[in-house]
Structure 1
Amino acid sequence: MDLFAKLINESTSSAELLEKIRDPKTYKADVRMPLLKLFRRCVSTVIDTEKSKKLLNPTSMFVENYGHTFKEIGLLKRQFTNMAEKDKYALTSLIGEYDDRGKQGYILTDLFFTWFEDKFSNMFTIEGPRGAGKDIQLSSIFEDFDSDYPCDFIIRDSQNQDVLAVGFARYDSTRGGSQSDDRTGGNNDKVMKAHEFNRSHDIKFKVLFLSDGPGLTHKDTWEEACLLDGKLDDRVRVATLKLADQRIIESWLRS
């Protein structure tokens, strides 16, 4: 917060402020990211933090397209000069609100991998990032798969290394309305893409959705999960971590 206020005071325009924040020679990523979050919160709410952190995008592009939304530097200077400590704490809390976003999903995946490896040792293998990491593209597993299809994990037969299932792990802290529609619509699209590939290449891998979190308790999200479960002659299954013992079994994976 103090650094952000200092940069405001030293800048002659909001565009110059953004240029200083995004200078890789001055700030490393761990400093640059919170500064960019502050810029989005305090200067221009339409600038996407994830896009602005990618330094291949020149600052001039953001200024040209979004400069008209930038708060005037004079107003920023007045707001940040002698800002009360309580206001600094409030603003810090706001930009830190989503710092832990995604961590529940990483924990869920790690717990599932541990459970799976304990239960199916010497029968099946599971591969994929246990925490933060790059998704597995199905095109890297099947050469003939020519569309975008990122998976969270792949389950193989330990003996012949055949792919038995592709999986997706999702932890929803909250999910309802249009968010739920996006999730379930995306899941159904994954199922249909897998089905089309299986049908055209005579391959029969399963699709497994590991879903957990309080967001599942939304009526529409729960109903859509139930509709998805059992599709394609039971080649699609949805399970929570608690239900994994009942839903993810050897006979289903081998069938």
Structure 2
Amino acid sequence: MSAGRRNSFADYKADGQNWITLTAGEYYPDILQEACELYEPVLVMFGQLLRTSESSVRLFIQISEVPSTWMRVQLFRVFRKYVSPELPVEMLRRKKKATEICNQFGVRFRSVQEVQAAYMTRPIPDEALSALLWEYKSRGKKGYDLTERFFSLFRLHFPYLAIRGPERAGKDILMGNVFANYPNPKR
């Protein structure tokens, strides 16, 4: 590499494997028993709500009224798989937006009769769907672990420097709050 030239990604290609952050995962099908135990109540409740819904919109509204946040999020994940895979996950977290979501996306929901028929073809517990839901269980954890490790190593090697930011989950620090006259203060 010549003096004054900035490195590019191509400069690291030959030893790229040394720059990959490896994190351990779980093996399939080893997770199936635990996944089925965790998600069986979710699938049972989804079935109960499905049987009492005259439409897919009504099913969505009933799910949005489930008081337990964890259960509601899991039911919405099942809903996406059976009824509306195009539904943005981010929107599902907003409990109070159920009517708005139904107004925007409800016309494209699969009919409740089709959903009921499809649901009835699957066993309870449904290993396939439980395995899919298991993928969400610790979503983000590896990234949080990596970020926390970075902060620890940074403080260890540079104790005289300050570092700020969410070390695990949390709101990022906006650059406009750190630097005066930052061109895009909302980022």
Percent identical among aligned pairs is 28
CA distance in 2, matches of 1:148, 1:100: 32
AA of the residue aligned to 1:12? E
Find the counterpart in structure 2 of residue 13 from structure 1: 55
The counterpart of 1:118, out of the listed 148, 151, 156, is 156
Give the number of aligned pairs. 145
The yes-or-no answer on 1:74 pairing with 2:113 is yes
What's the secondary structure of 2:171's corresponding residue? coil
Structure ranking higher on relative contact order (CA contacts 8 Å, 6+ apart):
2
Give the deviation of 1:54 after TM superposition: 1.0
Deviation >3 Å, runs of 4+: none
| Cα distance in 2 between the residues matched to 1:65 and 1:116 | 46
Counterpart AA for 2:113: G
Q: CA deviation at 1:145?
A: 2.1
CA distance in 1 between counterparts of 2:149 and 2:54 reads: 51
1:45 is aligned to 85
Partner in structure 1 of residue 173 of structure 2: 136
Amino acid in the other structure paired with 1:124: L
Letter matched to residue 144 of structure 1:
N
> What does 1:46-195 correspond to in 2, within 5 Å?
46-57=86-97, 59-81=98-120, 83-85=122-124, 88-121=126-159, 123-148=160-185, 150=187
Shift of 1:144: 2.4
> What amino acid does structure 1 have at the position aligned with 2:49?
L
Gaps of 5+ in 1: 151-255
Q: What TM-score, normalized by structure 1, do the two folds share?
A: 0.52
Following the alignment from structure 2 to structure 1, what is the Cα–Cα distance between the partners of residues 176 and 161?
21
Partner of 2:67: 27
Contact kept, 8 Å, 1:41 with 1:95, in 2: the verdict is: no
**Residue identity opposite 1:84 in structure 2:** P
Q: Cα distance 1:38–1:3, how it changes in 2: closer, same or farther (>3 A)?
A: same
- CA RMSD in angstroms, aligned pairs only: 2.0
* 5+ residue gaps, structure 2: 1-42
Are the counterparts in 2 of residues 22 and 53 from structure 1 also a CA contact under 8 Å?
no
* Contact persistence 2:73–2:92 (CA under 8 A): no
Residue 89 of structure 1 aligns with an amino acid whose one-letter code is E
Higher fraction of helix? 2
- Residues 196-247 of structure 1, C-alpha deviations (whole Å, 9 max, x = no match): xxxxxxxxxxxxxxxxxxxxxxxxxxxxxxxxxxxxxxxxxxxxxxxxxxxx
Distance of 1:56 and 1:139 partners within structure 2: 30
Tell me the alpha carbon deviations over residues 105-134 of structure 1, each in whole angstroms, 9 at most, x when there is no partner: 21111111111111122x212111111111
Counterpart-to-counterpart distance in 1, 2:73 and 2:157: 41
The structural deviation recorded for 1:141 is 1.4
2:144–2:168 CA contact under 8 A, matched in 1: yes
